[in-house]
Structure 1
């Protein structure tokens, strides 16, 4: 059972006097506290430290934690260049990179980004799958690639990652099409369903698609992206999480809870909710800390770290 944390790389999560250079120390502290992974978000809409830049800074500063994206949007980058950057981070971290990818979705986090990237919105899912296939070909030393959308002849030698097959690539998404594609093509699944029952049914669909493709269930890591806020005063915690939701997403907590996994309350209440996801099959939890300001983020980091042994024990008993 792995428990990781999303680093607060977005400016909406910082206080006025916060220094973003302390994020590397934040990651080191998480590693010492027992978190097994550090993840970063990717976007052009909200100001933040660029995802791959952050991971490159963390690679030599950490020793054991997995470094991951949640989720990287490949259409924001030239595909061959992205393969080179990802392989470089995998090398710098001695094979600790995990790449979660997504195609974006309608609204402010989707179509406008494609316009900025000068990439067509149409066939975005096919483009995503082909981009990942191209990366994998490059990581294996291929000299050409011929897909339906992406076609390259005479590819030059590129940087090879630490691992022969390259870093694992997970998919974020929970639509029926995303579940099927995860089972057929990807190494892991990182959704954020607000109901553990939906997580369990989605994981069943992923595993069915995997079996139909001749893959084993063990080939796919079942992960979960969840916002977490621990507070001894439940109502105070909800007010703080509402502030975070409005700062990060421009929506109140009650709306965010309808579309994303959110757990809040006392430590015992949060543990109970996380256990429901573990019982539903999640084996790598990525916790987004619901706090504004790096000091508050560090406080939540310590509180969530206290739950790690209990969550891991739950997985062992399932």
Structure 2
């Protein structure tokens, strides 16, 4: 069982006096506290430290934790240059990079960003899949790539990642098409469904698509992106998370938890709810801490770290998918 944390790289998670350079120490403390992965988000919706810049800063000062994106939006970057940047981070980290990707969402969470990137909203999923295929080709030393959307010839020698074939690439999303594409093409699945039962059924569909493509279930890491706050009880945790949801997304908590996994309450209550996701098949948790300044983030980090051994023990029981 891997348990990682999303670093608070967005200004919505900082107090006025917070120094963003503290994020490097935050990542090092998380690694020392038992978190096996450090993830960063990627967006132009609010001011934040750029995702790959943050991972590059963490690479030389951490030693064991996976460094990941949750999720990278490849359409914000030139695809060939992004392959070079990702390979460089993988090298600097000694092969510890994992790249979760997404295509963006309708409304203000996606379409305006395509306009800023001077790319069409249409065929965005095909563009995403081709971008990942291009990265993998370049990481293997290809000097040309001919897809339906992306076509390049005469590509000069690129930086090669630490690992043959490059870092694993996961897909975010839980639509039927995303589940099928995950099973066929990707190395991991990173959704955030509010209901653990939906996670279990989605993982079943991912593995069925993998089997149809001649892949083994073990080829795909079942991960979960989940917002967590440990508080005195559920009510106090929900009050704090409501402020977090409004500051981060501009929406109240009841709206956010309709679309994203959100867990709060006492330590025991949080452990029980996370255990339901583990029983549904999750084997890599990426925890986003529900706090609005770096000091409170550090406090929540330490509280979640105390649960790591117990969450790990939950994997001793077969998952719903494994037991079916």
2:12 aligned partner: 12
- How big is each residue's C-alpha offset from its partner over 1:272-299, in whole Å with a ceiling of 9 and x where there is no partner? 0000000000000000000100000000
Do the aligned partners of 2:139 and 2:159 also contact (CA within 8 Å) in 1? yes
- How big is each residue's C-alpha offset from its partner over 1:203-241, in whole Å with a ceiling of 9 and x where there is no partner? 000000000000000000000000000001432221111
Quote the Cα distance in structure 2 between the aligned partners of 1:45 and 1:271: 32
- How big is each residue's C-alpha offset from its partner over 1:231-261, in whole Å with a ceiling of 9 and x where there is no partner? 0143222111111010111011111111100
What secondary structure is seen at the aligned counterpart in 2 of 1:287?
strand
1:98 aligned partner: 98
1:271 aligned partner: 271
Pairing of 1:30-179 with structure 2 (within 5 A) = 30-179=30-179
2:321 aligned partner: none
Corresponding position: 1:229 with 2:226: no
1:185 aligned partner: 185
Corresponding position: 1:309 with 2:309: yes
Per-residue deviation, 1:89:
0.1
* Residues 85-94 or 224-233, more deviating: 224-233
Per-residue deviation, 1:45:
1.3
2:256 aligned partner: 256
Q: TM-score, normalised by structure 1?
A: 0.99
Q: TM-score, normalised by structure 2?
A: 0.98
Number of aligned residue pairs: give it.
318
Quote the Cα distance in structure 2 between the aligned partners of 1:235 and 1:278: 24
Q: CA RMSD, aligned part only?
A: 0.6
Quote the Cα distance in structure 2 between the aligned partners of 1:66 and 1:58: 10
Per-residue deviation, 1:316:
2.1
Per-residue deviation, 1:78:
0.2
Quote the Cα distance in structure 2 between the aligned partners of 1:182 and 1:317: 25
What secondary structure is seen at the aligned counterpart in 1 of 2:238?
helix
Quote the Cα distance in structure 2 between the aligned partners of 1:233 and 1:287: 19
Do the aligned partners of 2:222 and 2:283 also contact (CA within 8 Å) in 1? yes
What secondary structure is seen at the aligned counterpart in 1 of 2:109?
coil
Quote the Cα distance in structure 2 between the aligned partners of 1:234 and 1:16: 28
Show structure 1 runs of 4+ deviating over 4 A: none
Quote the Cα distance in structure 2 between the aligned partners of 1:27 and 1:171: 23
2:219 aligned partner: 219
What secondary structure is seen at the aligned counterpart in 1 of 2:30?
helix
Corresponding position: 1:297 with 2:297: yes
* Residues 213-222 or 250-259, more deviating: 250-259
Quote the Cα distance in structure 2 between the aligned partners of 1:18 and 1:214: 50
Quote the Cα distance in structure 1 between the aligned partners of 2:286 and 2:192: 10
Quote the Cα distance in structure 2 between the aligned partners of 1:316 and 1:155: 48
What secondary structure is seen at the aligned counterpart in 2 of 1:142?
coil
Do the aligned partners of 2:236 and 2:265 also contact (CA within 8 Å) in 1? no
